[in-house]
Amino acid sequence: MSVLGCGYLGVTHAAGMAELGHQVIGVDVDIAKIAALAGGRSPFFEPGLDELISRNIAAGRLSFTTSYEEAAAADVHFLCVGTPQRDGGAADMSYLDAVVETLAPFLVKECLIVGKSTVPVGTAARITSMLRVLAPAGEAVSVAWNPEFLCEGKAVSDTLHPDRLVLGVPDERAEKVLREVYAPIIDAGVPVVVADLPTAEVIKTAANSFTATKISFINAIAEFCEASGADVTVVSEALGYDARIGRQFLNSGLGFGGGCLPKDIRAFQARAYELGVGQALAFLAEVDAVNLRCRERVVEYLRKQCGGAFTGRRIAVLGAAFKGGTDDIRDSPALHVANIVSAQEGEVAVYDPQAMSNARRAFPHLVYENSVLEAVRGADAVAVLTDWPEFVTLNPYTLGDEARSRNIVDARHALDPTQWLRAGWNYIAPGRPALQASLNEPVDSLV
C-alpha cells in the first residue's frame, strides 16, 4: 500500500500499517522530510513513532519516496494530506486535489483509493468523478473513506488500537479490501462501522465537533463559575461520574487548539451553509467564540497580575505546543496568548519541552529560554499554558526564588493550588474564583 502525505497522520499511519505486516511506501513532495524518514527519523515529535519507523524499515516493510510513479504500484492508496482552513472557514482542498491529480495518470490497474483526511461531505464522490476522467484504469479505481481518529501525543497506540474503525465504502469489494487491511485490528475485537461515503465523511467532522463542543461547554461553565463562586474543576469531576457524560474532554482552562478541532468546526459550518442547513450547525460559532474567549480571559488575568499593563513586564510562558505530548504549534492557544501579551508590549519568555524550534521558527520575535527556571527568572508573572507533565511537579519555592513577583496563572489546572498559595504565590486558575478571592487574604490563612 502507499500512504500519500507524510504529516502527523500519514507517517503514523504508514508505520502503523507496516507494523500490521503490510508492505508500505510513504510519499511526500518534501525531499528533506522523506530523507529524514528514510533514515528512520520522524520529522516531528510523537512518542514511540521513531521506534516504529526504524523497526519497520529494518524489517523491509516500510520505505519512503517522493515518486508518485513508484507509489502507483500499490493496491491500496491512503490519502493523508492536510485540509487546512482557508479564508471564510471552509477547508482548503488544494493539497488533496493535487495528490489525486498527480497520482491518477499512473493508475493503470485495479486499486482502492482510501481517504483518511478530514474533508467536507461530498469529497469522496468528487474524487471518484475526478479519477474516472484522469485514471487510465477508469472504473477499476474505487474510492473509500476511512476517517482517522488518532490524537497527537498518543498517535501510535490510537492507530494500532483504535476505539472503532469506520469503513466508508461504495460497494462490498471495497469493504472486503479494507477488512483485509485491518484484519489484525478487527480480529482483536475493535468495533467496525460500515457506512456509505457521505456518512463516513460526516462521522469524522461530527466527532471532532462533539469533542470541541464538550470542551467549550465546560469552559462556558467555567465562566459561569467565576461569576457565581463555584469551582469548575469539581463540577467536571462530578459530571464525569455520570456515565452519560463521561470525564474525558471536560478539562477546562485555555480551550482547544491544534490543526484539527478549530478548523474542523469552521469547515463543518461552511459546508452546512453551502448545503442550505447553516442554522443546524450555527451553535458551532458559539463553541468557537467560547473557546477564543478562554485565551482572552487568560491574558486579562495576567494583565491584572502585572498591575494593569504589560509594558516593561516579563511574562514567563510555560508551554508552546497546542497540548502536552506533541511539538505541534498549529493554532496553539499558548502561543496565541503569548503573542497577544507581546503585542501589548510585554516581554514574553517561552519554554516548552518539545516545541521550541517550531515556535521559534513561527514567532521569532518572542524570547525563548532553555528551561522553566530560565524562563521564570525575573518574571513578573508566570503562565502555565500547555499541560506538559513536567509542569505538574514544578516546585513553587524554587520558582519563587527566580521570579520577580510570585504571580501565576494556571490556565490548564495543572498545579496543586494549595502548594502554590502556601508558597506565597498569587494563584489564578480559570473557573476557580474562590482561589482568586483568597489572594487578598494573608498567606497564613490559606494553608
* Residue 104 lies near ligand UGA (rule: CB under 6 A): no
Supply 234's cell numbers: 469539581
| Choice from 202, 215, 290, 408 touching ligand UGA (CB under 6 A) | 215
CB closer to ligand UGA out of 151 and 439: 151
Supply 250's cell numbers: 471536560
b or e along 409-429 (b: 16 or more beta carbons within 10 Å of the residue's beta carbon)?
bbbbbbbebeebbbbebbbbb
CB closer to ligand UGA out of 57 and 260: 260
Supply 149's cell numbers: 481518529
Phi–psi pair at 3, nearest 5 degrees: -125, 115
Q: What residue type is assigned to position 407 of the chain?
A: N
* Residue 257 lies near ligand UGA (rule: CB under 6 A): yes
**Least distance (Å) between residue 447 CB and ligand UGA:** 29
Looking at residues 261 to 290 of the shown chain, list those that interact with ligand UGA (rule: CB under 6 A). 261
Looking at residues 26 to 65 of the shown chain, list those that interact with ligand UGA (rule: CB under 6 A). none
Binding mask 233-252 for ligand UGA (x = CB under 6 A): ----------------xxx-
CB closer to ligand UGA out of 256 and 363: 256
For cell 463540577, what's the residue? Answer: 235
Binding mask 114-133 for ligand UGA (x = CB under 6 A): ----x---------------
Q: What residue type is assigned to position 119 of the chain?
A: V
Q: How many amino acids of this chain bind ligand UGA (CB under 6 A)?
A: 20
Q: What residue type is assigned to position 41 of the chain?
A: R
**Residue 168: HSE in the Cβ half-sphere, 13 Å Cα cutoff:** 27
**Least distance (Å) between residue 231 CB and ligand UGA:** 16
* Residue 166 lies near ligand UGA (rule: CB under 6 A): no
What is the DSSP pairing of strand 111-115 with strand 76-79? parallel
What is the DSSP pairing of strand 367-368 with strand 426-428? unpaired
| Choice from 19, 28, 46, 148 touching ligand UGA (CB under 6 A) | 148
Q: Is 111 labeled as catalytic in the residue annotation?
A: no
The span from the CA of 159 to the CA of 162, in Å, is 6
CB closer to ligand UGA out of 339 and 426: 339
Looking at residues 318 to 337 of the shown chain, list those that interact with ligand UGA (rule: CB under 6 A). 322-323
CB closer to ligand UGA out of 18 and 150: 150
Q: Which residues contact 73 (CB under 8 A, 6 or more apart)?
A: none
**Least distance (Å) between residue 44 CB and ligand UGA:** 12
Supply 147's cell numbers: 476517517
**Least distance (Å) between residue 412 CB and ligand UGA:** 7
The span from the CA of 140 to the CA of 348, in Å, is 57
* Residue 151 lies near ligand UGA (rule: CB under 6 A): yes
What is the CA angle 263-264-267, rounded to 5?
Answer: 85
Q: Kindly name the residue from 225, 260, 294, 306 that is annotated as catalytic.
A: 260
Please state the length of the chain: 447
**Least distance (Å) between residue 283 CB and ligand UGA:** 18
CB 4 within 8 A of CB 14: no
Candidate segments 57-65, 227-235, 258-266, 388-396, binder of ligand UGA by CB under 6 A: 258-266
| Continuous segment of H or E residues that includes residue 201 | helix 197-228
3-state secondary structure 309-332: CCCCCEEEEECCCCCCCCCCCCCC
| Choice from 211, 216, 339, 354 touching ligand UGA (CB under 6 A) | 211
CB closer to ligand UGA out of 255 and 346: 255
CB closer to ligand UGA out of 68 and 363: 363
**Least distance (Å) between residue 164 CB and ligand UGA:** 11
**85 secondary structure, DSSP code:** B
Phi–psi pair at 260, nearest 5 degrees: -125, -70
**Least distance (Å) between residue 255 CB and ligand UGA:** 5
CB closer to ligand UGA out of 152 and 380: 152
| Continuous segment of H or E residues that includes residue 368 | strand 367-368
What residues line the site for ligand UGA (CB under 6 A)?
118, 148-152, 208, 211, 215, 249-251, 255-258, 260-261, 322-323
Residues annotated as catalytic are 260
